[in-house]
Structure 1
């Protein structure tokens, strides 16, 4: 069993530096040490591990197989230590600077914009740039720090933190239900006015299921189709028909009685796959303190389950 008692962080840093530079003398020059001191540290490391780590010649040094293996682990250890040191430095730091956020238009209006004054008051050194669009955004090309996105999460090039689940309701106004009757099953919707969202991919399909059964999709029509969710929501409130929308959008109308949830024994969605509301940010070794601060703030304000579900 090899002992590691004589290994310290400085010896690992010097060992990795020698591999990177390929020379004892160059590392010695950069570290303001003598070449013999650097060589002695590496020799002590080899003695502690009881194995040869480097091939030495007059022109350069190169790693043995054991040296390559140690280097791989040493780089990971040193990276983690550097990250820990940075986190400790930031622990008492106040987030500041420009943070660029991109959010869907309606969700941004409903659930991001109302919290901006409190976010700014909490982090006065933070400069917030909020862009709202439903278009595809490449965070690297468009220089975005944080994306708020809703739907089926499948982008492996991004890290994600879930802010909430997207839950849907089938709803209509009391006036519409009094006039047209209340549907009891999805098949009943064929005789109702269904207000359907139509985006770039075409008209949205509505999916229904009971308990743990399979989802079934329905393509429905009504007196109004639109690419604007607010327009369709207002049309439903005005009695023009039924809508399927997420609770974050129509939760207020349901609580206030302007809309009524129907067919409660069925689950309803616009996709057979689970949909989430998530904060996305580019993959990397760590997240900046300002991005972490914004995400943590939103997680706290939204709650679990999110406040619009209550």
Structure 2
């Protein structure tokens, strides 16, 4: 049974970084990964370790500190009050070490070191993945981690160096936002769907159609159209919503309705005749989300050669 020493015992041991052994740093990384992943087995997969090794490392850390960091039951774990404080301080130490490593590696002539990049799923698969070899051949000392997710990641807590965002980007003092490109959204439907429905010659006609909608988490859905300075906001309904754009693309190709999707996602389908572009004389955008592409990173990464290398790589792709 672990002791019940004051919770702040977990704090004062992490005030400084000197004297921290490699074993302790590994234990800190293991604990932080376990908290982030919400479990030992998920953290073990992320770290490439056996689940038993992760469990032993956290147990040993608790024994050393003399307090409970993680509350366990047969189904899940939760972070104790001392564990939350320890997590924040451990995270600060690991971030400081990573920043120190990055500062040294970025001082050299070559681009080298670790770079964790978060990219939306389909953009990563269709735009970035086919050309990753070019980036890695150009910078063989770069250690790239590509985290593919459609969720909005927190750069600091999830230890991501760079995040690619499609659509308007919120700029704040806490995050640097670099615009690297833009795209347009196309209104598309399959020939099969159009053959059995009424024609779509004006945005208002969409109110009588099945619209395949991207799920932004809001119950109200509308599509906005602009032409010659006039804006039309059209409410749309349909039987399918998804937070994955490719699911909507596949449904549109299968004749299930009309979709509003990024040009880079459906261009091949339009070229092949699987989809037809509708209302091309209108500029379309759902709600306030503009067709911009941004790279986001923390202010302490300004001047990073690794971030600059990825930014240059991405801009070259988008200019093609």
Assess same fold via TM > 0.5.
yes
Structure 1 residue corresponding to 2:292, chosen from 276, 280, 285: 276
Per-residue CA deviations over 1:189-248 (Å, capped at 9, x if unaligned) read 1222211122433464211122211x3322212243333221111111111111011112
The residue number in structure 2 matching 1:121 is: 137
Deviation at 1:125, TM superposition (A): 0.9
Per-residue CA deviations over 1:121-169 (Å, capped at 9, x if unaligned) read 1111111101112223221222211110111112222222222213111
The residue number in structure 1 matching 2:282 is: 266
CA distance in 2, matches of 1:275, 1:191: 26
CA distance in 2, matches of 1:134, 1:165: 18
> Contact 1:198/1:225 (CA < 8 Å) preserved in 2?
yes
TM-score (norm 2): 0.62
Count of residue pairs the alignment pairs up:
215
CA distance in 1, matches of 2:219, 2:183: 21
CA distance in 1, matches of 2:180, 2:200: 33
Structure 2 residue corresponding to 1:152, chosen from 154, 168, 175: 168
Report the secondary structure of 2:270's partner residue. Answer: helix
The answer to whether residue 126 in structure 2 is matched with residue 93 in structure 1 is no
Report the secondary structure of 1:180's partner residue. Answer: coil
Q: CA separation of 1:301/1:226 partners in 2, compared to 1, >3 Å: closer, same or farther?
A: closer
Deviation at 1:282, TM superposition (A): 1.1
Report the secondary structure of 1:195's partner residue. Answer: strand
> Contact 1:103/1:149 (CA < 8 Å) preserved in 2?
yes
Q: CA separation of 1:272/1:288 partners in 2, compared to 1, >3 Å: closer, same or farther?
A: closer
> Contact 1:197/1:227 (CA < 8 Å) preserved in 2?
yes
> Contact 2:213/2:238 (CA < 8 Å) preserved in 1?
yes
Gaps of 5+ in 2: 1-102
Deviation at 1:296, TM superposition (A): 0.8
Report the secondary structure of 1:230's partner residue. Answer: helix
TM-score (norm 1): 0.64
The answer to whether residue 152 in structure 2 is matched with residue 169 in structure 1 is no
RMSD: 2.1
Structure 2 residue corresponding to 1:184, chosen from 201, 216, 225: 201
Gaps of 5+ in 1: 1-85
CA distance in 1, matches of 2:166, 2:146: 16
> Contact 2:226/2:284 (CA < 8 Å) preserved in 1?
yes
The residue number in structure 2 matching 1:298 is: 314
> Contact 1:196/1:203 (CA < 8 Å) preserved in 2?
no
> Contact 2:185/2:291 (CA < 8 Å) preserved in 1?
no
The answer to whether residue 214 in structure 2 is matched with residue 197 in structure 1 is yes
> Contact 1:170/1:243 (CA < 8 Å) preserved in 2?
yes
CA distance in 1, matches of 2:121, 2:296: 16
Larger radius of gyration: 1
Q: CA separation of 1:112/1:204 partners in 2, compared to 1, >3 Å: closer, same or farther?
A: farther
